Structure 1
Amino acid sequence: MSRRLSLAAFTAVGLLMSVTVNVLAADVRPSTRPDLQGLSVRLCGNPAYPPVSWISPDDRVQGVNAAVIRALLQPLGVKVDDLQNSNWRRCLKEVELGNVDIISGFRTEARQAYMSFLETPIVTESIYLYYPVDAPVPFFSWEDLSGLRVGVLMGDSFGDGPDEALRRYPELEQVSTQDQNLLKLADNRLDAVPMGKLSGQLQIASLGLQGKIGYTATDVSDYWYVGVSNRSPLHDWLPELNERLRQLLKSPALINSLLQRQQALYLESEQRQQKGAP
């Protein structure tokens, strides 16, 4: 009997040692996640929302959001390719295909099908309705605008509810730049254009259209989030990126400082273009 017990005990100890060795081996097994150091990723942005998001004359993604994304990734050794020569709709498609790794935008149900958003929002954006100053358009609901000539940026989103209403508009005009929309408003070729409060007023000033375009608030005020393509190698690092972004945005002074700097950079860039300077 004692011999049987000792053999059983020996077998149990052997099994325990085997399990322990396997666990230790699993602990030291190399990670299958891609190394962030030296990783190159593509950044894409909405060209029509300065100072939050815009594209410079040399086709570089600029704005508060791009500055935050660079501050998030570059200290980790990630190289950020910010060259962009496509519109916003194409940008979103490239994220879906996995050709673009990271963007910033409103978090909608449609976009969450192919990208994951980090938890901490970068900045809030209130959506205003712009109209010719001599033909004011009061805002009551998105459905009430369906009989008007409404201009929107291709790929733009104002949330699931407004987007659904916009899709039913019989006279919806989609353009690639907000300058087109604002110039059409000034010429009374459009009745209304929904766009961001900050970006709309900044671009009106840049185009010299003050006094020609009026505006009113809508019921949409949403946040810009960082979105990572589900096909990107960055996707494996979402927990770490979430924590790093949370720490980065703890101070509200950071965003205020970036807003002021990006507004100045945008106006300076527009002035150089208008003067034809290199």
Structure 2
Amino acid sequence: MPVVVQLLTALLLLCLSVAAQAEKLRIVTEPWAPYVYEENGKTLGLDYETTAIVFKRLGIDVEWQLLPWKRCLAMLEQGLADGALDIFRSDERDALLLYPSEPLSDVEFVMFYANARPHPFRSLEDLDGLTVGTSPGYLYSQAFRESTRFKQEAAPTHEANFGKLQLGRIDLLITDRRVGRHVLKALQLGDQITESPTVVSRQSQYLAVRRGAGMDLLVQRFGAELKRFKHEPAYAELSARYGAGPAARTAQPDTVPR
């Protein structure tokens, strides 16, 4: 093989290698079953599997990390992660992140309380003097965040929050309906804790990436392919497996972005 051909071949391989590395994304998220979680060393979940399929179709390699949510946000701010899975859109984050036009899924935030200490919830006024369990790093709405009617107390995990609720260390906790049901089933606490029917807020969650060169094109490609996949039987089967039917769109004013 002529030397020139060898050099051109080596240069082409080098360019392909650099391009492949440039396409590799580091995506962070918190375990948030049934949307994303680990089981027996394998990552599962509706939004994780959906995202993995879309990225595979786009030919993009992804490095995944499941971490506490507060750490995920810190890594985004420090440039140690390229994007986050299942993040809610907010004005505070628009300067840092880009979002596809198509969300991954919709969530409904509700209150949970212990049957032994019932606190039915209809509005923030019902929380006077109570302690509500929250999650660190979650960006709650201004009305919820600034309310002086009740105390907010964070726990490191959703399981810890439900444990505190069962023991009476908090009066209620707020989390997504499906996440709460999944944790209650795993902890076998379904007969001891009740889910309030009142929806505090409904939100869409996304795969968002840090702003940077080429990222605007990436989110456009991702959004278009995600929308296409959602119309396929494979997505319907995936949704059915995780019990994720379509959420209603009549959102109430108090929002709780993750």
Specify the TM-score bucket, using the shorter chain as the normaliser. 0.7 to 0.9
Instruction: Please tell me whether the aligned partners of residues 151 and 175 of structure 1 are also in contact (alpha carbons under 8 angstroms).
Output: yes
Instruction: Please tell me whether the aligned partners of residues 132 and 150 of structure 2 are also in contact (alpha carbons under 8 angstroms).
Output: no
Instruction: Please tell me whether the aligned partners of residues 36 and 76 of structure 1 are also in contact (alpha carbons under 8 angstroms).
Output: no
Deviation at 1:143, TM superposition (A): 5.4
Residue number in structure 2 paired with 1:128: 110
Please give the residue correspondences for 1:1-278 in structure 2 after superposition, counting only pairs within 5 Å: 35=19, 39-47=23-31, 49-56=32-39, 58=41, 62-84=44-66, 86-103=67-84, 104-142=86-124, 144-145=126-127, 147-158=129-140, 160-165=141-146, 168=148, 171-216=151-196, 217-231=198-212, 234-251=215-232, 253-261=233-241
Gaps of 5+ in 1: 1-33, 264-278
Deviation at 1:157, TM superposition (A): 3.8
**Separation of aligned partners in 2, 1:36 and 1:250:** 29
Instruction: Please tell me whether the aligned partners of residues 37 and 77 of structure 1 are also in contact (alpha carbons under 8 angstroms).
Output: no
Q: Could you say which structure has the higher helix fraction?
A: 1
RMSD: 2.7
The 1:163–1:195 alpha-carbon spacing in structure 2 relative to 1, beyond 3 Å, is same
**Separation of aligned partners in 2, 1:192 and 1:81:** 36
Instruction: Please tell me whether the aligned partners of residues 38 and 77 of structure 1 are also in contact (alpha carbons under 8 angstroms).
Output: no
Q: SS state of the match for residue 136, structure 1?
A: coil
Instruction: Please tell me whether the aligned partners of residues 118 and 242 of structure 1 are also in contact (alpha carbons under 8 angstroms).
Output: yes
Q: Tell me the TM-score normalised to structure 2 length.
A: 0.76
**Separation of aligned partners in 1, 2:137 and 2:25:** 22
The 1:145–1:54 alpha-carbon spacing in structure 2 relative to 1, beyond 3 Å, is farther
Deviations 1:180-218 (A, max 9, x none): 010111111110100111110111011011211111132
Instruction: Please tell me whether the aligned partners of residues 124 and 221 of structure 1 are also in contact (alpha carbons under 8 angstroms).
Output: yes
Deviation at 1:39, TM superposition (A): 1.9
Instruction: Please tell me whether the aligned partners of residues 98 and 215 of structure 2 are also in contact (alpha carbons under 8 angstroms).
Output: no
Give the AA of the match of 2:53: A
For the pair shown, which has the larger CA radius of gyration, 1 or 2? 1
Instruction: Please tell me whether the aligned partners of residues 118 and 227 of structure 1 are also in contact (alpha carbons under 8 angstroms).
Output: yes
The 1:129–1:138 alpha-carbon spacing in structure 2 relative to 1, beyond 3 Å, is same
Q: SS state of the match for residue 134, structure 1?
A: coil
Deviation at 1:119, TM superposition (A): 1.0
Instruction: Please tell me whether the aligned partners of residues 166 and 192 of structure 2 are also in contact (alpha carbons under 8 angstroms).
Output: yes
Deviations 1:43-79 (A, max 9, x none): 11122x2111224464x65421111221121233221
Give the AA of the match of 1:223: S
